[in-house]
A = this chain, B = another copy of it.
């Protein structure tokens, strides 16, 4: 039998004892777990960024993988700790939307509110449920315990969504939803929507008053300093500058607008 896989995504950084103590708790319950970091460098308390990263990583893992995610500004408050079972995976984390960009891609089967303290650490701090609640539950879940063991099913949970791009006449209004390690700008306009909108028209893309024409196929295309547009590895329209950070060069941030214009006549 293969070892169970537990992935971890947090905004805890990699300097402190936070992530390691979570891993210790899991291994203490099930030493056979294979622990894989998705990211611990989510911008502090940025639920949307965490949700985006999780949504683009989870589906590459084997069926049955347990995805544990903690970006949790409301830790210790009324927000619920939950377990979402989907067609192929288990997701553990706070009920603040963090898990839901991922889970809506994989048929949610049920959502359990974690209430059974038998599977928590004996002493539960009010500041670190990642270690005290989510990790022990991940450990027991990896041993094969059924989801219903950990609490009761709920029908209502927080759902997050990308802001949808918006068509007005011959303009498609989108925005930047993520900026990657290289400074590439990922937008909320996916390939299907882009193609449906531009059809066989000419088009150009506007960002910060600059115009980009055409779609390139890879980052290596384009001249030095030229802004190029392409569809990145997550299927979204992306703006990039060869060997440079488009973020630094254009001085943009998450939420900044991007406009696709069809060229009529």
Contact = CB atoms under 8 A, between A and B. Distances in A.
B126 A16 contact: no
Interface in A76-91: 76-77
A40 interface: yes
Contacts of A58: 24
A39 to B, nearest CB: 6
A130 B182 CA distance: 15
A14 B13 CA distance: 10
Interface stretch (A30-38, A111-119, A159-167): A30-38
A12 to B, nearest CB: 6
B220 A73 contact: yes
A94 to B, nearest CB: 11
Contact of A61 (B18, B28, B45): B28
A27 B61 contact: yes
Interface stretch (A2-10, A147-155, A199-207, A249-257): A2-10
A74 B181 contact: no
A62 B5 contact: no
A185 interface: no
A38 B21 CA distance: 8
Contact of A45 (B13, B16, B21, B243): B243
Which 8 A-B residue pairings sit nearest by Cβ, starting from the closest? A76-B218, A24-B60, A13-B181, A128-B233, A17-B57, A15-B41, A24-B61, A17-B56
Interface of A: 2-3, 5, 7, 12-18, 20-25, 27-28, 31-32, 34-42, 44-45, 53-54, 56-62, 65, 73-77, 125-128, 131-132, 180-182, 217-221, 230-234, 243
